[in-house]
Structure 1
Amino acid sequence: MSHRIVICDDSALARKQLCRCLPPPWQDDVRFAGNGHELKALLAQQPADLLFLDLNMPQMDGYQVLQWLQGQPHAPRVIVVSADIQADAYRRVMALGALQFLKKPVVAEPLLNLLGQLGYNLTQETETPPLPAVAFDDALQEICNVAMGRAAANMAELWGQFIELPIPRLRRLGPAELAMLLEGGLSDPELTVISQGFAGHGICGEALLLMQPEGDALLAQLTRANNQAESSPLERQMDTANLVFAVFLSALSQQLDIPFCQSHPVAMSSAPAMSKLPRTLAVEIRYQLPKRGILCELLLLLPESTLPRLHTVMTPLMEH
């Protein structure tokens, strides 16, 4: 018996990882959508029995899809698969009709157990069909997406606030562009920039946390609201940086299966000379509170020299 299955996720790596976890006989029948609008077009062509749905997507996100499905007469069963693992995200999707919530990256055994509980036949005699390789940038974006979600979940638990998450943005920067970015931030006396380096198995990089006065004001409000001890702005910012860096880099390390050594976080006061700056791949992530403003921004800097090694480490994720 064939199953009409759709995986809706903007990440090619996430779609591939999830499809690989399904029983092999199912994999030939899976259709893919990159956002809610593409999903609507697919369902108009042919309904689905089961939908695996991401939350953070461009144009039409998972929450909007769930709301739309409530008005559809032949809506599929929905399992949400997301890097945003905040408790509020879970409550919201379950209230909107999702059957279950799985965190990224998907692991085959819990997924198959869930499908068995839902009454699906999980025969796996068929050989697994090949899937196309995933581009390096897409794979790295998804790995950072998972790390971003775990850091947000920790912040949300600490402060009792839902953290709004973006899609991580990747940019390649030359020395002049990187210098302009760093100097622009460090020349602003009101902007705090905290840095932490990391390295392991030939891969190295630097994580920066950027915080404007508005973000610190939000931090102060959250601290008071949760009856936490009063602290200076720099102490609050350092505490936030320690939290974000620790969880983000730990999630990065786990997914790459590489232990990272990390330097102590420091508040930066000046940018390195442009002659010392390498070409760099930058990953930008903005954490914000809905309707209240930007809390902080995370900037992950990966020098060009480390990318070949990173590509090698990520090859099993991209090709298998």
Structure 2
Amino acid sequence: MYSVLVCDDSLVARKQVAKCLPQDWPVSVHFARHGEEALDLLQQGKGDLLLLDLNMPVLDGYETLKAIREFGFPTRTIVISGDIQPAALERVTSLGAIDFIHKPVRPDALQEALKRHGIFSPQSSSEETDCSELDPKVRDCYQEIANIAMGQAGDHLARIMNVFVQLPIPNVNLIEVSEMHMMLTDIDSHERVSAVCQGFVGPGIRGEALCILSDSSFDDVAKIFNVQQDVDDQVQLELLMDAASILIGTCLEGLAQQMDVKFSQGHPVVLGQHQAITEITSVTSKRWRKTLAIEISYGLEGYDVHCDLIMLFTEDSMATMNAKLAHLLEE
């Protein structure tokens, strides 16, 4: 069976790309969080087609393309990235990519690229359903305010930890809560994570923030904070709470300033330590049916640290948020 490998450090983006594949295309789909994982899967023969992001930790898209050429893997690569610089297109093409699609990916754009290169031929003329219900202008607006809030949180984190924080483009999507649950489950079964959830509420706006840190990050986080004692469960819990407090608090403050609202934050709740992501997300999946999800993935240069911050807003909050940001939506 033809296999497709989706490589993106974003939890949400991986499943969104997969959802935009033609529905009547019998393929096996695999996922990688960065270039190193993608190369391992390609070596196993999983990835006749690679859908590749550029801005990723460990091994980015450019380095991955170079490695594919060096190893001679017979995969065909389509880059899917938010980097719209003409130089990015020229660079990835010179490294062997057959096409370049801008984020957020649309089913029609992806299918057109697949047809253009003879990878997929539709069996019928029926149109694919759009993988997102968000109007592009609305998504761009939320992405803009999230970008500013993310930068403020990253700056705060960088000053406290004295490190360089890698800031990707935020992912913004309106999704079913059950779908979000499925999106998060593509983390390998062996990957264990710890997470904190914190509710927030403002005039006409309510939601929850999830801060998810992989267990493999704790040793390096402890080094950054110059922790001398053994990194046991209690120390890990303190590090998790500190990171969550910085990221959630600063991000919410940045969003509040731009929407001219004040958020009240609930007490942070530890959803779990050393658990599979499915066990953690089951707690939040019962709260509401649909959510506006803003996902930000933070990385620290020179360290094996990766943290996902996911801001979840209830569907009924969007009317208030849209009104608050009407000046941006009109631009």
Scaled by the length of structure 1, the TM-score of the pair is 0.54
Q: Distance in 2 between matches of 1:296 and 1:257?
A: 28
Partner of 1:277: 288
Deviations 1:91-143 (A, max 9, x none): xxxxxxxxxxxxxxxxxxxxxxxxxxxxxxxxxxxxxxxxxxx8111011010
State the SS of the aligned residue for 2:83. coil
Assess if the C-alpha contact under 8 Å between 2:221 and 2:305 holds in 1: no
Amino acid across the alignment from 2:310: L
1:171 is paired with a residue of what secondary structure?
A: strand
Please give the secondary structure, in 2, of the residue aligned with 1:248: helix
For 1:127-276, what aligned pairs fall within 5 Å after superposition? Answer: 135-181=137-183, 190-224=192-226, 232-269=235-272, 270=280, 271-272=282-283, 276=287
Quick one: which of 57, 77, 83 aligns to 1:58?
83
Could you say what secondary structure the match of 1:258 adopts? coil
Q: 2:311 aligns with which of 300, 305, 312?
A: 300
Unaligned runs of 5+ in 2: 1-80, 89-135, 273-279
Q: 1:192 to 1:141 in 2, by over 3 A?
A: same
Range that drifts further, 307-316 or 230-239: 230-239
Aligned to 2:325: 314
Amino acid at match of 1:58: D
SS in 2 for 1:285: strand
| CA offset digits 1:248-293 (Å, max 9, x no partner) | 1111111110001110111114423856432112111111122433
- Counterpart CA distance in 2 for 1:245 and 1:275 is 21
1:60–1:216 Cα change, 3 Å: farther
Instruction: Report deviation, 1:242.
Output: 0.6
Distance 1:319 1:135 in 2: 9
Once residues 317 and 201 of structure 2 are traced to their aligned partners in structure 1, the CA distance between those partners, rounded to angstroms, is 10
Q: Is the 8 A contact 2:195 2:240 kept in 1?
A: no
State the distance in 1 between where 2:303 and 2:284 align.
36
Q: Percent identity?
A: 31
Deviation, structure 1 residue 314: 1.0
Matched, 1:286 2:297: yes
**How far apart, in 1, do the equivalents of 2:174 and 2:271 lie?**
22
* Secondary structure class of the residue paired with 2:261: coil
Give the letter aligned to residue 268 of structure 2: P
How well do the aligned residues superpose, as a CA RMSD in angstroms? Answer: 3.2
Mean alpha-carbon deviation: is it higher for 165-174 or for 272-281? 272-281
The CA deviation string for residues 221-267 of structure 1, in whole angstroms up to 9 with x for no partner, is 10118x89987000011011011111111111111100011101111
C-alpha spacing 1:259/1:216, structure 2 compared with 1 (3 Å): same
Q: Which amino acid aligns with 1:255?
A: Q
CA contact (8 A) 2:139 2:173 kept: no
Query: Which residue is equivalent to 2:115?
Result: none
SS of the residue corresponding to residue 259 of structure 1 reads coil
- Between 146-155 and 284-293, report the one with greater CA deviation: 284-293
The separation in 1 between residues aligned to 2:285 and 2:250, in whole angstroms, is 30
Cα pair 2:207 2:314 within 8 Å, conserved: yes
- Larger C-alpha radius of gyration, 1 or 2? 1
Amino acid at match of 1:169: N
Q: 1:302 and 1:136 mapped to 2: Cα distance? A: 14
- What TM-score, normalized by structure 2, do the two folds share? 0.52
SS in 2 for 1:232: helix
3-state DSSP of counterpart to 1:293: coil
Paired residues of 1:285 and 1:298 also in contact (CA < 8 A): yes
**Matched-pair contact (CA < 8 Å) for 1:162–1:290:** yes
